[in-house]
Amino acid sequence: MFWQIDLLISTLVIICGIGALTVKDLLGAGILFGAYSFMMCLLWAVMGAVDVAFTEASVGAGVSTVFFIAAVFRTSRETKD
Amino acid sequence: MKSIALTVVLILGCLLVYVAQEFPGFGDPGAPANVHVSPFYIENAMRDTAVPNMVTAILADYRGFDTLFETSVIFTAGLACFFLLRVIRRRAPESRLYRHIPTDLTIRIEKGGRLPASSAEFQRIDSVWVPYDLIIHMTGRLIVPFIQLFALYVIAHGHYSPGGGFQGGVILGAAVILFALCNNLRMTVRRFSERTNALLCSLGVIIYAGTGVMCMLLGSNFLDYGALAGLLGVDRIMARSHGIMMVEIGVAIAVNAVMVWIYYNLSSVGRQDEGL
């Protein structure tokens, strides 16, 4: 196990998670959530759970990001900040 | 209030990290998860089911009940989106946009105006977002069949490599969603209608449950695929392998239809008229 890769991906997961929570723009949050899912997918693959990684890549990073964006597309901006 | 919430979250987070120290290490052979039932699967999966990918064997055979109800959960999710979002009542459109193809003019038809029949001359376009990009259109058209082919490979090859019904079904659904993104929602709904979606959702779950019931009718337990040996003309071990395949196909059909159905309702707020 390469601990450097592990550390890098774990850091990116946390950064993407915090970013998705704090960013004001909903579209940006959706895309950051997709990035988070993709990093989780890499983490599963590094840990050897290839089936879970595949599911995460197709469901988490793929289709659910599209769902988020489709839902964000139907919202309107209320505040000006 | 915010600082109290932050404090609580931080305390709970520290507690979680502290308790996680007590967990066995990654890949520890003495961990409870690795001594109880896992050795049985590792030793017997290939001998019992002739499926080299142990995960598939566990998912669809040893833990068949789990997967059956996972499929039901996905089916329920599709139904829930339908009941929450779908607007069946038809109301007169406020205004519609059409593109006159020979002259490339955009026409707005106000409420009460006569709408042109869908023909080769007039093409209806969305009022909020107008995609008119030849490159995206043609790339989508080129790439969709390959995505579908890959999805079929993932479903069929789940016995030997990572993949299976869930992943393959999601990729199949993603191909249809990509088609909808590259063209428009109405065109996609015309080709893959909501009725088909609903039927396929139920069909997938019925294939799964029906395989189990068939095993029962042949005098075995629910989802004990070994009972299908006589029907399929193979020995009991290969019958389990084929039973897993049947179940995976059911899962793939259900997941595919549910993904597309959720997308239809979500992107058009249930009208299935104008959407992303």
- The pLDDT of B147-159, averaged and rounded, is 93
A13 occurs within a structural domain: yes
B170 interaction partners in chain A (CB closer than 8 Å): 55, 58-59, 62-63
pLDDT at B61 over 80: yes
Buried b (16+ CB within 10 A) or exposed e, B164-173: bbbbbbbbbb
pLDDT of residue B249: 94
Spatial separation of the C-alpha atoms in residues B10 and B254, rounded to whole Å:
41
A80 occurs within a structural domain: no
pLDDT at B133 over 80: no
Local confidence band at B27 (pLDDT 50, 70, 90 cut-offs): confident
A81 occurs within a structural domain: no
pLDDT at B168 over 90: yes
Residue of B259, B267, B276 with shortest CB distance to A63? B259
B54 interaction partners in chain A (CB closer than 8 Å): none
Local confidence band at A73 (pLDDT 50, 70, 90 cut-offs): confident
Extents of the domains making up chain B = 54-86+132-267
* pLDDT tens digits, one per residue of A2-59: 788 889 999 999 999 999 999 988 999 999 999 999 999 999 998 888 999 999 999 9
pLDDT of residue B263: 92
pLDDT at B128 over 70: no
Q: Phi and psi of B127, rounded to 5°? A: -85, -20
**Percentage of chain B exceeding pLDDT 90:** 42
Distance of CA A29 to the CA centre of its chain: 9
Spatial separation of the C-alpha atoms in residues B32 and B23, rounded to whole Å:
10
Of B60-69, B70-79, B98-107, B237-246, give the lowest mean pLDDT range.
B98-107
Residue of B56, B259, B267 with shortest CB distance to A73? B267
Going from the C-alpha of B29 to that of each of A49, B35, B125, the distances in angstroms are 16, 7, 61
Local confidence band at B45 (pLDDT 50, 70, 90 cut-offs): confident
Within 13 Å, how many C-alpha atoms sit on residue A58's CB side?
27
A63 interaction partners in chain B (CB closer than 8 Å): 170, 173-174, 177, 259, 263
- The pLDDT of A58-67, averaged and rounded, is 91
A37 occurs within a structural domain: yes
Local confidence band at B131 (pLDDT 50, 70, 90 cut-offs): low
A40 occurs within a structural domain: yes
Helix H or strand E encompassing B98: strand B96-100
Q: Residue A43 is part of which domain span?
A: 3-73
Local confidence band at B129 (pLDDT 50, 70, 90 cut-offs): low
A60 occurs within a structural domain: yes
Number of structural domains (chain A) is 1
Average pLDDT, chain B: 87
A33 occurs within a structural domain: yes
Taking any CB pair shorter than 8 Å as contact, residues of chain B touching chain A are 26, 53, 55-56, 129, 162-164, 166-167, 170-171, 173-174, 177, 181, 259, 262-263, 266-267, 269, 275-276
